[in-house]
Chain A
Amino acid sequence: MQISTRPQDLEPPVRLVKDVADRLRRHALWDSLAVIFPPVLALIYGAVTLYRAAMVNDSAFFFAVVIAAGGGLLGVVLRFRSRIPSLPSAARLIDQKSGAKDRFLTLATIDPAGYLPSIFARLRLETFDFVERIDLPRDFPLKLKRSRWWLFLGSILIATLIHFLLPLAGPMIHVVPVQQRIRQLANEMSQRTGLKGLAHQLRMLAAKLEDPNVPRENKQAMSEDIQKEIEKQQAKEEQKDNRDLLGQAASTLKGLEEQQSSEGQEQRTDQEKGGGGIQSNLPQDGQGEGKQSQGSGGEGKKDSNAQLSKATHQDKTAQGEPKEPGQDQNQKHQGDTKGNQPDQSQPGKNQDDQKTGKDQGGSREGAGKNQASDEPPQGTPPTERFYKAGEGKAGLKDPRYVTVQLPEDITAESRGEGMVAKGSKGNRVGAKVPVSNVPLPAQIPNSPTEKQQLPIEYRGIIR
């Protein structure tokens, strides 16, 4: 039997092995891309979302993207290289598919120089017959494993979760401090023409934010001013980059404003919740009399006690010796009220005195209030401290009562003034709930009265 050695008869087996190897190489590349790219893209999307939410700065975002992209490329290259099929492995696959009993493997790996040409040619001729049995698309299709599809879906799911949940979880995530962010924006603005003034202002704002001695109102006011400047600048800015930068600054300041207002609201809520049953008779920063001291704690109470002591002293000086307990309550009440009321014979002086006193007290009060507003009340509520053994919220032993004259509209009268205002005879409106023991003008006929339990704090002070 003569063995053909024509070149055209010897090529197809070798060409088939190379074609299969190329095809498998492409499959390996697709597989590597399918494994690496979906999670990398999900990571990059997460970084973009964080950057847009101003949770990371520019350098961190850039670093993260570079690392993710570079790592992804490197991963693809390494994985692909480890899976590049060799000619022998491609030949073995062809042998398995065609039943060639390692003919393609021998043909692809053997060195013809070590064997007789006729034997080698015979092998090629035998292999030629098996070439027809191979159909590349049918026998070597691109099949992505099921795990790749799960990986792809998982990456989409993670990106979706990042997209929807990150804004909700934003406050819980540790973000770049506002001051630092403002400084970053200031640095960027200082490099752009037309924004250097704003950059300087932002730096000053950042410095003030870090200074604990600067009042919150100052910080807030400065922030609002800068915001307005930014809005003006944004309106007339032509360059898109500058507008974007101004937008970032505006959103940062807005976030700062919201943060400060929420802190302020929390402080006010704490102050309202704090303090005790003490009702100050002095106006507090325009909030009017009758407001309870806000978290006044010891200092406010001391001032109240001081006033009460002063009032008691006035009472004593006005009334002489202290009254016996068995005396008429009205007289006592009058004495009390007298003591607490200014002397009508010298309204101006009294007013001045009381005003001074109230101013002082107010200042003390204010200081106390400020301290109280800054510091939460410590210890047990004041009312409970005056309970004696066996007493409690259920009631007092041997409570004492006083008849009080109900004031008119106290709020409007007492705002900004140290004195009780007016009690105009014709316009007396009986308040349903007494809110303070503001001294009332004496001898108001037909004024409504009410019997009230003596506040526990005055027990032992007012007899």
Chain B
Amino acid sequence: MEKGLVMEPEKFHETFLRLEAEVQKVIVGHNDVIRKVLIAFFAGGHVLLEGVPGLGKTLLVKSLSHALGMTFKRIQFTPDLMPSDIVGTEVLAESSGRREFQFKKGPIFAHVVLADEINRATPKTQSAVLEAMEEKQVTVFGESHVLESPFMVLATQNPIELEGTYPLPEAQLDRFFFKLLVGPPAPAELREILKRTTGTETGNATKVLPEDGGNLVNEMQQLLRQVMIAPPIEDYVVRLVHATQANDHNGAPSSPSVKQYIRFGSSPRGAQSLILGAKGNALVEGRVHVSYEDVEKVIFPALRHRIILNFQAEAENVAADQIVAEIVKQVTRN
């Protein structure tokens, strides 16, 4: 293999498809969600899953972790959850005849962490997770503890039970790579779900990656970043993100709906998510270069949670996806 090339693109493609297939053995439907979660994983990002209870969000994450062969921890967020319940704390322990404080790692110290109903915990507790997401380390009593790599947080939100919840602030929403909407299954999918879950045989995902799965994942993540992207397509991404700004200080006109409904546009993280997500999508399709279609396939999960709508949009029930769709129509390819 050529020096510098960590992995053959074909191997990435093959491994990816195997992981995807393995998860699809357990999860019925949601193929696009599965693919996007995997892309986000190999892009080094975190995912926010939003959907009503009972759609298999937790099962999806568990299956993914099983397929990856990586440690998995689930954190059920409640209003009384404390930060130390997540990151860990120091406890007084006795060893070798001596008593000393030892750091007890919290559930955050896993490769794949499921933060279930993250919007039910207090902001203080949320911030503990969010710091770990960004920094890949936690600080307890002044001491930093690095999290294992690869590290991915999949947080879930329930869009219907908002009473007594603490919606994630915009600054913290921005830290999620993708926000995926998990919808209800189709009738055929529901039949399959029932068949799988109410019978005698229940499937579980098996490990796909080899023993050195960690190294393999790291190589796949590095290869993803080596995918080529043409300057005109990069410029296209820039213009897409720039089009989400309601108050353009550079003098470029915004579309009427952007001006009318958006309070704050996407941050540069949105452009990063777009490009990395497009690169991942290109590799999944067996290419080593990004195309315009790759960008358009990942734009909704990348931007829908980064556009802050104003009160008028909420009053008129305008969703962020509508704004993003209009922006895609408005911004032309080079």
Interface residues, chain A, with chain B CB atoms under 8 Å away: 1, 88-89, 92, 101-103, 105-106, 109-110, 115-120, 122-123, 126
- Closest CB-CB distance, A173 to chain B, in whole Å? 49
- B232 A119 Cβ-Cβ under 8 A: no
Q: Scoring B residues 281 to 294 as 1 if CB is less than 8 Å from chain A, else 0, what string do you get? A: 00000011111110
Q: Which residues of B contact A110 (CB under 8 A)?
A: 228, 230-231, 289
A119 touching B288, Cβ below 8 Å: yes
Chain A nearest CB from B227 CB (Å) reads 8
How far is A120 from B9 in the complex, measured between Cα atoms in Å? 12
In whole angstroms, what is the CA distance A110 to B226 when docked?
A: 13
From B226, B232, B233, give the contact of A115 (CB < 8 A): B226
Chain B residues contacting A103 (CB-CB under 8 Å) are 289
Not counting A88-B230, A119-B226, A123-B228, a sample of 7 additional A-B residue pairs whose C-beta atoms are within 8 angstroms of each other reads A88-B232, A105-B232, A116-B4, A118-B4, A119-B5, A119-B228, A119-B288
Chain A min CB distance to B173 (Å): 31
Of chain A, the residue at the smallest CB distance from B231 is A109
- Closest chain A CB from B262 CB (angstroms): 29
A106 and B289 within 8 A (CB): yes
B-side contacts of A102, CB under 8 Å: 230, 233, 289-292
Q: Which residues of B contact A1 (CB under 8 A)?
A: 8, 10
Interface residue ranges, B against A (CB under 8 Å) = 2, 4-5, 8-10, 226-233, 287-293, 333-334
* Residues B5 and A118 in contact, CB atoms below 8 Å apart: yes
Which residues of B lie under 8 Å from residue A88 when comparing CB positions? 230, 232, 334
Q: How near does chain B come to A355, taking the closest CB pair, in angstroms? A: 99
Closest to A117 in B: B2
| Residue ID in chain B nearest A122 by CB atoms | B288
A89 to B230, CA, bound (A): 13
Contact among B4, B226, B228, B333 for A106, CB-based, below 8 A: B228
What residues of B have a CB within 8 angstroms of the CB of A116 in the complex? Answer: 2, 4-5, 226
Closest chain-A Cβ to B281's Cβ sits at a distance in Å of 12
Central interface residue in B5, B9, B228, by most chain A CB within 10 Å: B228
A351→B227 CA distance, assembly (Å): 129
Q: How far is the CA of A433 from the CA of B252 in the complex (A)?
A: 96
In the complex, chain A residues whose CB is within 8 Å of the CB of B227? 119
CA distance in complex: A106, B230 (Å): 5
A-B contacts, 27 listed (Cβ < 8 Å)? A88-B230, A88-B334, A101-B291, A102-B291, A103-B289, A105-B232, A106-B229, A106-B230, A106-B289, A106-B290, A109-B231, A110-B230, A110-B231, A110-B289, A115-B228, A116-B2, A116-B226, A117-B2, A118-B2, A119-B9, A119-B226, A119-B227, A119-B228, A120-B228, A122-B9, A122-B288, A123-B288
> Which residue, B4, B230, B231, has most C-beta atoms of chain A within 10 A?
B230
A90 CB to closest chain B CB (Å) equals 12
Residues of A within 8 A of B291 (CB): 101-102
Q: A126 to chain B: closest CB distance in Å? A: 8
Contacts of B287 in A (CB 8 A): 101, 126
A137 to B101, CA, bound (A): 80
B8 to chain A, nearest CB (A): 7
Q: Considering only CB atoms, which chain B residue lies closest to A2 in the complex? A: B2
Contact A123 B334, beta carbon cutoff 8 Å: no
Residues in A neighbouring B229, C-beta threshold 8 A: 106
- CB contacts (< 8 Å) of A119 on chain B: these are 5, 9, 226-228, 288
Residue from B231, B232, B290, B291 having most chain A Cβ neighbours under 10 A: B232
CA distance A88 to B334 in the complex (A): 8
Inside 8 A of B10's CB, which chain A residues have their CB? 1
Please, which residues of chain A bring their CB within 8 A of the CB of B233?
102, 105-106
> CA separation between A461 and B5, bound complex, in Å?
134
* Chain A residues closer than 8 Å to B292, beta-carbon distance: 102
Bound together, the chains give a CA A117 to CA B3 distance in angstroms of: 10
**CB of A122, distance to nearest CB on chain B (Å):** 5
| The 8 nearest A-B residue pairs measured at CB | A102-B291, A106-B230, A106-B289, A118-B2, A101-B291, A109-B230, A119-B288, A116-B4
Roughly how many angstroms separate A10 CA and B235 CA in the complex, as a whole number? 26
Give the contacting residue for B293; candidates A92, A101, A106; CB below 8 A: A101
Report how far A403 CA is from B10 CA in the complex, Å: 136
Closest to A127 in B: B289
Instruction: Kindly state the separation between the CA atoms of A109 and B4 in the bound complex, as whole angstroms.
Output: 22
- What is the CA–CA distance of A89 and B232 in the complex, to the nearest angstrom? 10
A193 CB to closest chain B CB, in angstroms? 69
A105 touches B228 (CB 8 A): no
Identify the closest chain B residue to A105 (Cβ). B230
Interface centre among B9, B233, B287, B289 (most CB of A within 10 A): B289
Determine the distance from Cα of A385 to Cα of B5 in the docked complex, in whole angstroms. 120
Separation of A247 and B231 alpha carbons in the complex (Å): 69
Shortest CB–CB separation between residue B303 and chain A, in angstroms?
Answer: 21
Chain A nearest Cβ from B158, distance in angstroms: 39
Q: Determine how close the nearest CB of chain A comes to the CB of B82; give it in whole angstroms.
A: 47
A95 to B, closest residue via Cβ = B291
- Chain A residues with CB below 8 A from B4, complex form: 116, 118
| CB neighbours of B232 from chain A (8 A) | 88, 92, 105, 109
Give the residues in chain B near A101, CB-CB below 8 Å: 287, 291, 293
B5 CB contacts on chain A under 8 angstroms: 116, 118-119
**Closest chain A residue, CB of each to CB of B333:** A92
Q: In the complex, what distance in Å separates the CA atom of A115 from the CA atom of B4? A: 10
Question: Nearest CB to that of B2 among chain A residues?
Answer: A118
| A98 CB, min distance to chain B CBs, angstroms | 13
A120 contact set on B, CB distance < 8 A:
228
Chain B neighbourhood of A118, CB < 8 A = 2, 4-5
Q: How far is the CA of A343 from the CA of B32 in the complex (A)?
A: 137
Residue of A at shortest CB range from B223? A119
